[in-house]
Structure 1
Amino acid sequence: MSHVTTAQPDGTPTWIDLRVPAYDRALEFYGALFGWEYSEEPTEGGRRRRSATCLLHGKPVAGITQAEAITGFGWNMHFATADCDATAKRVTEAGGTLLKGPEEIAGQGARMAVAEDSVGARFGLWQSHTHIGCEVVNEPGSLVRNDMRTPSPGPARAFYSSVFGYTLDLNDVMPDADFTFLRRPDGHEIGGIFGTPADPASTSPASMWATTFEVADTDAVAQKATAGGGTSTAPQDIPYGRIATLTDPAGNEFSVITRL
């Protein structure tokens, strides 16, 4: 069990959230998959949008909001930053685009922004005040990893190194893959970048950050996903564990892994 009690270092994936039009169905689907419970935010005045914090062991692990989905983007990942405004400035200086903020999130205890990088992948920035992000990670039912897929890995690596000061390492375990580890200045691995060919038939963006959740049994979770109205690829073994790519009933893609 890995509990987070303080703000993560800059450049660490620290919060994930999802926009869904079918809110109740999403809560039911993810609750069945990951054992999540929910703390719903009260609606105020005439506001009809509903929002929930997803809880594991009573601690926040993700957010789900009732809203029109952004086609193909699925789960949105936010990087920790001690200064959202300064990091947002580095994003634009490196060739990215700010889509929202920086701004305070009313009642959430954080300052955030949403951006696209220089190759079109969307991500968020998260400056915690009282809301430090995911408080449980790296155990079944919680976030374990984020990796980027893009047909333009070189510019993507340059962008994130410029914004967050990452260093880059090749993956000797998977030498045939175009994959580079991203490491914080202290050497901690935060994820990686896959070079992947563009797929003209795909409805997802050519460049995107993919979210992976840890599970105790990949095959069982894949079966629950399909039973709950989602889809799953056939689970397969990779050097790091047994993995499958799923979609929820709204078509949002994510992966699950049982680690070795």
Structure 2
Amino acid sequence: MPTPHIAPGAPCWIDLMTSDPEKAKTFYGDLFGWTFETGDQEKYGGYITASKNGKSVAGIMQKQQAQAATPDMWSTYLRSDDAAATIAAAAEHGGQVYMEPMDVPEQGHMAYIADATGAAVGIWQPREHRGYEIVAEPGAPVWHELHAKNYGAAVTFYREVFGWETTVMSDTPEFKYTTLGAGHDAKAGILDASAFLPAEVPSNWVIYFGAENTDAVVDKAVKLGATVVHPAEDSPFGRVATMADPTGAVFKVIQAPGANQGNAAEEA
């Protein structure tokens, strides 16, 4: 599969902030078949790059002391051709700047914000590191979804700050959903989560990983120390389950509709 073309504003990278990188490597390595390379400590702070079949797929970084109260979490990064301008636009449109653009030697510029609904999201301005090299396959990112407590504000923010061209997929009281792009070309979604996110949980980005068989992945993840947050269930888009890894970082797995229907375990 060729390296995906990633347009400005679209998801381009994911990484895991974890309290235990070694445990994370063991878990995701066994679950998804990832291999790992640790970057130079002085240049890259020991940042770990995960690969699937020799192609970069995600990053892992050690949670710092100052972040001790923050749960372990996966983050989505959106591509920007000018991280400083994106940061300025985010601040102008109700976002909060967590980290100004930081130069990552030779690789690019990284920044981190909260959007207008309070959801944390990364910004990546690429140089040598163009983003993930594999998507929409088992063990790789398939979908990025913002669970927004203020749906209207979220849609406006990503249009204004990241230049999203959006499509309304559903606009019923029970299910409001907008996508970046349309149909099979859509790259991310915004879900109205106001009815189900608890008061103490902020708006947040969720990453879906591909699976050949969701139930099989869930079973394996549990054996590796994961917790099931939402059991596998069928949806119009595939069979999906939500899990927390051994240190609590939440992610989803999804199997495309019709895949491996002959298997005893179904998938998302």
Equivalent residue, structure 2, for 1:57:
53
Equivalent residue, structure 2, for 1:93:
92
Between the aligned partners of 2:125 and 2:98, the Cα distance in structure 1 is 17
Structure 1 ranges of 4+ moved more than 6 A: none
Equivalent residue, structure 1, for 2:75:
76
Task: Note the 1:207-222 alignment, pairs <5 A.
Answer: 207-222=203-218
Between the aligned partners of 1:165 and 1:17, the Cα distance in structure 2 is 23
Counterpart secondary structure, 1:234: strand
Between the aligned partners of 1:226 and 1:173, the Cα distance in structure 2 is 36
Between the aligned partners of 2:241 and 2:131, the Cα distance in structure 1 is 25
Counterpart secondary structure, 2:73: coil
Counterpart secondary structure, 2:231: coil
Residue 226 of structure 2 contacts residue 245 of structure 2 at CA under 8 Å; is this kept in 1? yes
Between the aligned partners of 2:18 and 2:199, the Cα distance in structure 1 is 23
Distance of aligned partners of 1:183 and 1:73 in 2 relative to their CA distance in 1, 3 Å threshold: farther
Letter of the 1:104 counterpart = D
Equivalent residue, structure 2, for 1:131:
129
Letter of the 1:236 counterpart = E
Counterpart secondary structure, 2:124: strand
For 2:237, which of 228, 237, 240 is the aligned residue? 240
Deviation for aligned residue 1:226:
0.8
Distance of aligned partners of 1:50 and 1:129 in 2 relative to their CA distance in 1, 3 Å threshold: closer
Task: Note the 1:1-260 alignment, pairs <5 A.
Answer: 1=1, 3-4=3-4, 8-44=6-42, 50-68=46-64, 71-72=70-71, 74-106=73-105, 109-172=107-170, 176-183=174-181, 188-196=185-193, 197=195, 199-200=197-198, 205-232=201-228, 233-260=230-257
Cα RMSD (Å): 2.4
Residue 243 of structure 1 contacts residue 258 of structure 1 at CA under 8 Å; is this kept in 2? yes
Letter of the 2:61 counterpart = T
Deviation for aligned residue 1:165:
2.2
Unaligned stretches of 5+ residues in structure 1: none
Q: Percent identity?
A: 34
Letter of the 2:221 counterpart = A
Between the aligned partners of 2:112 and 2:244, the Cα distance in structure 1 is 23
Residue 170 of structure 1 contacts residue 179 of structure 1 at CA under 8 Å; is this kept in 2? yes
Deviation for aligned residue 1:169:
2.3
Residue 2 of structure 1 contacts residue 139 of structure 1 at CA under 8 Å; is this kept in 2? no
Deviation for aligned residue 1:110:
1.0
TM-score (norm 1): 0.88
Counterpart secondary structure, 1:138: coil
Residue 150 of structure 1 contacts residue 198 of structure 1 at CA under 8 Å; is this kept in 2? no
Distance of aligned partners of 1:201 and 1:154 in 2 relative to their CA distance in 1, 3 Å threshold: closer
Residue 37 of structure 1 contacts residue 54 of structure 1 at CA under 8 Å; is this kept in 2? yes
Distance of aligned partners of 1:199 and 1:174 in 2 relative to their CA distance in 1, 3 Å threshold: closer
Deviation for aligned residue 1:177:
1.4
Deviation for aligned residue 1:103:
1.6
Letter of the 1:257 counterpart = I
Counterpart secondary structure, 1:25: helix
TM-score (norm 2): 0.86
Deviation for aligned residue 1:106:
3.3
Residue 2 of structure 1 contacts residue 138 of structure 1 at CA under 8 Å; is this kept in 2? no
Between the aligned partners of 1:145 and 1:10, the Cα distance in structure 2 is 17
Residue 119 of structure 1 contacts residue 155 of structure 1 at CA under 8 Å; is this kept in 2? yes
Deviation for aligned residue 1:172:
4.8
Letter of the 1:195 counterpart = D
